[in-house]
Structure 1
Amino acid sequence: MLSTSMSDLLDMKMMLLLQSEKVMYISKILSCAVIITLLSIIFDKDKTSNFFVWASLTAFSTLQFSRQSKVNFNQIIGNVIGSIIGIVIWVFMTHVSAHHLYYINLEYWFLILGIFVTTLLCIMLNHSEYCGIALSSFLIVTIYDVAHHTIEGALSRIFFCIIGCLIAYLVDFISRQIEQKWLFYKSQD
């Protein structure tokens, strides 16, 4: 009888923990959305820089659901690596496009080259955990700038992604501080 009630108590505690983890994750996502929206309203009133898109995508993919997994800066490193390689490949593509009639077909070969170089660099740095983020950044920077024929989009995207990562880190840090204080006060009761 005692073991059953102890087991029920543990099950109930685990259920509450899981529920609080879900609530915490939702609150972190919403906090990031509110902060990024406010910054977008202040700095991107015309919605021309796509700050909201790049910062929110980065922030949302940076936040971790599990309490045990803290936000780390692999997102920033992956974004910077992918974006820099994207800029370099973009420069090659624009240079070749001025001299070649079959530019659209060469674009795909440059994209494959960029995918290879990005993957190789992440593996050589022994950080395959941010290879997917780096590849996404590479493709977003390269494809965005090929369509718009401007390098400013790539440079601003790097900056916006770093801001998104920092916002996610700040929100995660503050939520952990609040949770620790709550647990401390709860243990005092």
Structure 2
Amino acid sequence: MLINIDDILKSEKVLYTFKILTCAGLIALLAIIFDKDKTSNFFLWASLTAFFTVQYDSKNKVNFNQVTGNVIGSVVGIIIWLLIANISHHQGYYINLEYWFLILGILLTTLCCILMNHAEYCGIALASFLIVTIYDVSHHSIEGALMRIVFCIVGCLIAYAVDILARNFWTKQLDNL
């Protein structure tokens, strides 16, 4: 039996849709269990990270090093958050300085990724940086910033696990053709 390339491409689209929906379903289940009152926005932050992590191309598996990108972005995010929080009592300068600190954080995150030879994960590191920093700048809560690090890592781990399971399933299906 000949394998039609169009069938394979269609199955990759189905596989990608399956991976996205599985990530969303697992994160929703965790949100129902651990964030019943929806105060932490776990679903939002973990979903964003998972969706950035899942790969469309079935030949490119999710690399566990994307967690490294999340950690880099989160650590820089906490550092910048602390700098912004310490200047927040100077209201006249605060709003303008916040943007400069965010740009500094973007620069530091990018440089860390490049210097650590993780430039390919710079996008997810920057997303993690912004997830950790932006919301809590206006709410002045270090606990929220720290929880978002956990949410990013959980989202990444869910995407990694779903990708492995989907890849194994897809490979078995192709072998059966």
Is this a same-fold pair by TM over 0.5?
yes
Instruction: After superposition, give the CA deviation of every residue in 1:147-180 in whole Å (9 maximum; x if it has no partner).
Output: 1110111111111111111111111111122223
State the partner residue of 1:65: 56
Give 1:59 shift.
Answer: 1.0
The one of 121, 135, 138 equivalent to 2:112 is: 121
Q: Counterpart amino acid of 2:6? A: M
Q: CA RMSD in A?
A: 1.8
Identity within the alignment, %: 65
**What TM-score, normalized by structure 2, do the two folds share?**
0.92
The one of 26, 30, 34 equivalent to 1:35 is: 26
Q: Tell me the distance in 2 between the aligned counterparts of 1:135 and 1:178.
A: 32
Q: Tell me the distance in 2 between the aligned counterparts of 1:44 and 1:63.
A: 23
Q: Tell me the distance in 2 between the aligned counterparts of 1:113 and 1:141.
A: 15
Q: Counterpart amino acid of 2:15? A: M
Instruction: After superposition, give the CA deviation of every residue in 1:8-65 in whole Å (9 maximum; x if it has no partner).
Output: x97x711011011111111111111111111111111101111101111111111111
Instruction: After superposition, give the CA deviation of every residue in 1:56-108 in whole Å (9 maximum; x if it has no partner).
Output: 11111111111101011232111111111111111111112225631111112
Q: Counterpart amino acid of 2:158? A: I
Q: Tell me the distance in 1 between the aligned counterparts of 2:58 and 2:103.
A: 37
User: Secondary structure of the equivalent of 1:19?
Assistant: helix
**1:33-182 mapped onto 2 (5 Å cutoff):** 33-99=24-90, 101-182=92-173
Alignment coverage as a number of residue pairs: 177
**1:16-31 mapped onto 2 (5 Å cutoff):** 16-31=7-22
Q: Which has the higher contact order (CA 8 A, sep 6+)?
A: 2
Q: Tell me the distance in 2 between the aligned counterparts of 1:181 and 1:140.
A: 37
Q: Counterpart amino acid of 1:105? A: N
Q: Tell me the distance in 2 between the aligned counterparts of 1:180 and 1:110.
A: 46
Whether the 8 Å contact between 2:69 and 2:118 is mirrored in structure 1 is: no
State the partner residue of 1:6: none
**What TM-score, normalized by structure 1, do the two folds share?**
0.86
Identify unmatched segments of 5+ residues in structure 1: 1-8
Q: Tell me the distance in 2 between the aligned counterparts of 1:155 and 1:67.
A: 33
Q: Which has the larger radius of gyration?
A: 1
Q: Tell me the distance in 2 between the aligned counterparts of 1:173 and 1:133.
A: 19
Q: Counterpart amino acid of 1:67? A: S
Identify unmatched segments of 5+ residues in structure 2: none
